[in-house]
Chains A and B, each alone.
Chain A
Amino acid sequence: MDSILLKVENLQTSFLVKSGEVKAANEISFTLKKGEALGIVGESGSGKSVTAYSILQILQNPGKIVGGSIALNGQELVNSGESVMSRIRGNKISMIFQDPMTSLNPVFTVGNQLTEAIMLHTKRRKAQARERSVELLRLVGINEPKRRVKQYPHELSGGMRQRAMIAMAIACEPDILIADEPTTALDVTVQAQILELMKSLQEQLGMAIIMITHDLGVIAGMCERVIVMYAGRIVESGTVDEIFYAPAHEYTKGLLKSIPSISDERQRLIPIAGSPVDMLSLPKGCAFAPRCDCAMKICLASQPAQSRISETHSASCWMNEKGRLENA
């Protein structure tokens, strides 16, 4: 039996703005096993980053967790208080962000920022922490780590900054590494380096990874399981093979069809019609229904229930229910 590391149940995160409540993450439930790589894929505004921020409780005002539970090794995190969370952040769960330039402090050296994280969470003293930072930079593949620890973020290239971020994130050997679009700001050749690095660290340190991205190609190469989000909800979840070869939600299907691949020879792309949803005025039924080719009356009227397709695969789409009703 794989042990469950993180269990998120019915997570509700809302942003209370002047014009109403934005349900940025709505009834989010998933589990993460030890050492597993889970991908969360969705477009901008689909709630994937909000879900990650909720886990670490680093939401910015006016964002707030309004319901549900997040349990790490059985310990409840929602409403656990700032002192508990500050021991978990960076220690048990750490995060790397999309833009390594804005998430590193420009007025401190890389070494300073690394030792700070190490000293905060371990009993190491300054000299030991310093040694450990050099070791970490070497681990993430930065050349001449002894010289680099003394440099400021602006002296490093984009790829190197992201490596430094990863070094900081793994400083305390966390159980979970959340990567929020870690390669979106990088070039493809550098992206390949960073993904290889993350994969090898996952194996070496046995940590679980939550990979948040809009790039299905990155998911295909990195993850074992995938969650697809749309308009704040999980619309489909399953193993990589299930999601890529037997998608069960119309949105996932559309997404896979609309992406050009370098290996195919198609003359024409099949786009998803319409525009992304307005989170302030979500439709009553399925949020994807206005853009869906297969939308039925029921899709516009009520929220689809989650249907199980296999042990690991489930989707929230009335089309699956329809098939089942006809078969019955």
Chain B
Amino acid sequence: MPNSEPLLKVNGLKQHFKINTGLFRSTLLKAVDGITFDIARGETLGLVGESGCGKTTAGRTILHLYRPTAGEVIFDGVRIDTPQKVMDMRSKAQMVFQDPYSSLDPRMTVQDTIREPLDIQKTYPTRKERDDRVKELMAAVELSSEQATRYPHEFSGGQRQRIGIARALAVNPTFIVCDEPVSALDVSIQAQIINMFEDLQETYSLTYLFIAHDLSIVKHISKRIAVMYLGKIIELATSGELYKMPLHPYTKSLLSAVPIVDPNAEKQRKRIVLEGDVPSPINMPEGCSFQSRCPICTDRCRQEEPDLREMSDGHYCACWNVQ
């Protein structure tokens, strides 16, 4: 019987970092400040936002690479709250990192890197079985078996990212957090890796949380997209709806800022150019986090913080001025 329960439920998740500002003084950096969403089995949820908005921290906190400050993560029906449950979750939830250069140990061969999670999780009891599994994984990411004894520096960026993907797949996960997996790659290689993610999802029935700042790529791969700004989700909708009918003023400006690979479309479009930069997440003002750059900001936005409300079926937005 197919399980209709979401694979992952994130409820009011918060991650605050303490920053020392003096000998005895410290302040809070609210990297992730109360995010709530579900991911259905086999779905890809895109998480977009600008640098510093907390998207990477969100991904890491979900996998408990950081201990959450508050909130809960329910994975496959289990509330992750003890170290044992974290360990159990990690055999089913894995991560692919942004930088294929620093996320591989330069002194480990490809096969050792891919086998390491298998050695730890002990899903395959004998060495022979683990080695066979490594070969199978290398074939799945289109690396040849002769490359098994080579070291990361002998590979190009795209190939290294394949190694990282094979390592994530090793323990037969059901869920993978992809943290900017193609942004360090050349344009002509990005499409190869994106297609590979899609194929692997199909073959192994994977569920992805796809974190990226490139909206075109996120739109391509995701079924639904959550837009983050300064630690909060400000809009969440299906990818088609988000691009056709963005509601939040930040989403609108973000979409209008993305360069289009079409000179005529570029000439015709009207840009909503925002003033200023993303403010620092330290000592945030009261009210809406977007107030300092918002073109339609009102008094209410400066006093009260808007909640993520459902505007139409499955389309959520956190803005007082959107009805």
Contacts and interface: CB of A to CB of B under 8 A. Distances in A.
Given A255-B187, A259-B216, A275-B189, A217 B260 contact: yes
Interface in A247-270: 254-256, 258-263, 265-266, 268-270
Contacts of B186: 43-44, 214, 276
Given A218-B259, A220-B261, A221-B259, A260 B187 contact: no
A280 interface: no
Interface string A222-248: 000000000000000000110011000
Contact of B220 (A188, A266, A271): A266
B277 A192 contact: no
Interface stretch (B22-30, B81-89, B203-211, B262-270): B262-270
Nearest to B242: A262
A189 B156 contact: no
Contacts of A43: 186-188
A220 B268 CA distance: 12
B322 interface: no
B156 A269 contact: no
A209 B159 CA distance: 35
Nearest to B259: A217
A187 interface: yes
Contact of B192 (A191, A241, A244, A271): A271
Contacts of B240: 265
Given A43-B186, A262-B216, A192 B273 contact: yes
Contact of B158 (A190, A218, A254, A275): A275
Contacts of A271: 188-192, 194-195
Interface string A171-196: 00000000000000001111111011
Contacts, number: 134
A220 B264 CA distance: 8
A216 B261 contact: yes
B253 A220 contact: no
A290 to B, nearest CB: 13
Interface string B237-278: 000100100000000011111111111111000010110111
A136 interface: no
Nearest to B215: A262
A157 interface: yes
A216 B198 CA distance: 24
Contacts of A35: none
A266 B50 CA distance: 25
B261 A187 contact: no
Nearest to B192: A271
Interface residues of A, number: 46
Contact of A188 (B192, B213, B263, B266): B213
* Residues of B in contact with A, size category: 35 or more
A261 B257 contact: no
Contact of B277 (A157, A244, A245): A157
Interface string B145-164: 00000000000101100000
A283 interface: no
A260 B219 CA distance: 9
Contacts of B187: 43, 214-216, 255, 258-259
A275 B192 CA distance: 10
A268 B216 contact: no
A258 B195 CA distance: 10
B103 interface: no
A269 B195 contact: yes
A191 B263 contact: no
B260 A193 contact: no
Nearest to B217: A260
A100 to B, nearest CB: 12
B258 to A, nearest CB: 6
Contacts of A275: 156, 158-159, 189
Contacts of A241: 263-264
A272 interface: yes
Contacts of B303: none
Interface in A188-206: 188-193, 195-196
Contacts of A240: 263
Contacts of B158: 275
A159 interface: yes
Contact of A261 (B159, B262, B276): B262
Contact of B262 (A44, A244, A270, A276): A244
Top 10 nearest A-B pairs (CB, nearest first) are A217-B259, A271-B191, A192-B257, A187-B50, A260-B220, A258-B191, A221-B266, A269-B191, A157-B277, A272-B188
27 contacts: A44-B186, A158-B277, A187-B213, A187-B278, A188-B50, A188-B213, A188-B215, A190-B50, A191-B259, A192-B257, A192-B273, A216-B259, A220-B263, A221-B260, A244-B262, A258-B188, A258-B190, A259-B261, A260-B217, A260-B219, A261-B216, A262-B219, A266-B220, A269-B220, A271-B189, A272-B188, A275-B189
Given A189-B253, A215-B187, A271-B190, 19 more contacts: A188-B50, A188-B213, A188-B254, A189-B273, A189-B274, A192-B256, A193-B273, A217-B261, A220-B260, A240-B263, A241-B264, A259-B191, A259-B216, A259-B261, A262-B219, A265-B240, A268-B195, A271-B191, A271-B195
Interface of A: 43-44, 157-160, 187-193, 195-196, 214-218, 220-221, 240-241, 244-245, 254-256, 258-263, 265-266, 268-273, 275-276, 291
Interface of B: 50-51, 156, 158-159, 186-192, 194-195, 198, 213, 215-217, 219-220, 240, 243, 253-266, 271, 273-274, 276-278
